[in-house]
Structure 1
């Protein structure tokens, strides 16, 4: 079989696209497995490479099937989007062969479950932030902090976050979204020194959420909008990379205080798995900590989240 015809089961559907009524689970499973297989080199798994004679990137289907201990026909059906009755043991074996991360393995499992066996995805509710959490944000002086939703909505923030990232309170509610700002607002391209990494991470978070809620119309609308308006988003969406938001370091170039390097921590809320608290901080006595002190005075004029217009 010629592996270059991998998309033959979905001829009318561009790779990585989102339908108006949600994501096509068969296409998602097919493209996810194909892109994971394509990123593995034969030498990565101890297979002698034939160099320029290989016609496809990454591993062949039969090589991956052998590594996973399944038949080529079985794996081919799975990669074509037919995950019916696939067992957890087989998915684990394929995940090990593909060297999937924990987030990728969970994503594969969700995509491969037959629709009749999946728990029904409830329609995501309108996002609200508890009063106590808003009070916690306001009490966090000196550190930028915000609460975001799973679709990258910016739901609540403190004055330091507005001073660092921009005065979100003056934006229309629909514009307060990290994905929209990252790809459609030139100011954020200037703010993040490692914008490519920021953009890649943002798409990976949305992909992970898409696997959990394939029928979310708001997510489909967001993906459709960004795919039309941003070539970079469309390219990254087609990679099918997934990632959990965790912790790390961001380098920024702020228009008022210049260069600063901040660490961030993501805290997932115990009573709402679709919201998380993100806090940025600087090393004590570092140039970045001095920059945050300078920003604190400017941030006094920012519109606090509780006074910002609410979504319709």
Structure 2
């Protein structure tokens, strides 16, 4: 059994201090499913408890056995990450800690909903962690690392004792992260990637897929890919494409039809950033339906 072929519910020890169980929610946005990580021995924390799937919750409880679950740590409030926290808390008494509760962006009515419907609005942490705040349990230390971009409230969690970072949906090895305005922000995402470049974590554990084994090299590749996408969008504007629909049709040609909306939201995120930087203008508020023009044209 390896990182990529572990069946849902199977307990896999991935490091001396970390075990992993994959939820039974595979899909085009979740890959093989949401990875829930059990950290520690005796006294435990779970990073990203996952969806409210009965079999997944049963598998996590079985893995814990007679150990004490101290914390349920949530990277962000998408519904494939946080809903199981409430159920596990009811069964174990653990403290829910991590990202802030979801707050609808003030410009939701202008920009459109993005991935607003994907948020777990019932999530209510006992402890909201700010950037740099730490939790201790069983002789281990977890530090919250603020990484807005995929969502405004996104956190990663650093395990000091293994120099590893649990990256949620911020950095994944199997696919690029969806950035969907208004809650998602390409500008914040770029800044968060740059921030991780200043850290010395030796390994990333994403919430979907296997580990990222050379984080700094991978971060450089992610930033290069996003800048290439930005350049392609500017080229399409120069060529006369004015709408997101037209741009997506050209730069995502042959793309899986199930991912077309995600592609449109990603282009929107880039255009929103380019408008903020004064490189692109819109014919009104920046929205999915607006027309866009390269500045100076």
Q: Would you say same fold, with TM above 0.5?
A: no
Q: Which has the higher helix share?
A: 1
How would you bin the TM-score normalised by the shorter chain? under 0.3
When normalised by structure 1's length, the TM-score is: 0.26
Q: Which has the higher strand share?
A: 2
| Structure (1 or 2) with the larger CA radius of gyration | 1
When normalised by structure 2's length, the TM-score is: 0.26
